[in-house]
Amino acid sequence: MKTYTTRLDRFISQNSDCSMADTRLLLAQRRIMLDGVVADSVQQAVTKFTRVELDGVCLQSEQPVYLALNKPAGVVSATKGSKHPTVMDLVQHPRKDELHIAGRLDFNTTGLVLLTNDGAWSSRISSPQTKLPKTYEVSVSEPLSGEYVAAFQAGIYFAYEGITTLPARLEILSAYRARLSLVEGKYHQVKRMFGSFRNKVLALHRVSVGPVCLGGLEPGATRPVDASELAEMSRQVSGT
């Protein structure tokens, strides 16, 4: 998802009767406000969600949208163009046409999907470099043991790519159920990790992405991601 960012002087020239050259005078006269703060440089970045005011007139006031959705099985993580129901078919929001998916789930995998119109945010949380933890509840066909816990922590070798997965935390809940937390998202990674033990994954359900948890959200329902979750998400992806 591409993100929109431009310099302040370019934004002013494109959205008012003033030129790029005029912007320096406007700044000296303290006539431009960015997100409620007096602007001080022609090079300041303006994103699609920056509130820009010139002489008290708002030139842009777009607001970001962040939603958590509980995806049922049999629903495609796509916005359109599928013969099956998509996650967007489940969303009831006045700005749903602006939204895209930040972290997809397979067709039969259920649980937490994040939706937003903020491309920069979705890029940050989806990037492998952020190592944002994602937690799943897994049901398998064969009994689990402590051997799995140690192997997942050490990393599972995928011969096809010649790579070893990053350490993952496995908590055994019962003989056939576990909770798995990992910080990467390779192709069918969870199924392949258990597959290294010749143990088939029967059900996979994502319960959290970073600080955002599914909680009691009903299948097919959505809720806004709240301010405290967004703040903690920002802290985690920035590594502070």
Q: Which residues are catalytic?
A: 106
Buried b vs exposed e over 98-132: b needs ≥16 C-beta within 10 Å? ebebbbebeeebbbbbbbbbbbbbbebbbeeebeb
Smallest CA-to-CA distance from 35 within 5, 58, 9, 11 is with: 58
Q: What is the CA radius of gyration of the chain?
A: 22
Residue 133: which of 94, 160, 170, 98 has the closest Cα?
Answer: 170
Q: Which residues of 203-219 are buried (b: 16+ CB within 10 A; e: fewer)?
A: ebbbbbbbbbebeeeee
Q: For Cα atoms 75, 141, 182, give the angle at the middle one, nearest 5 degrees.
A: 65
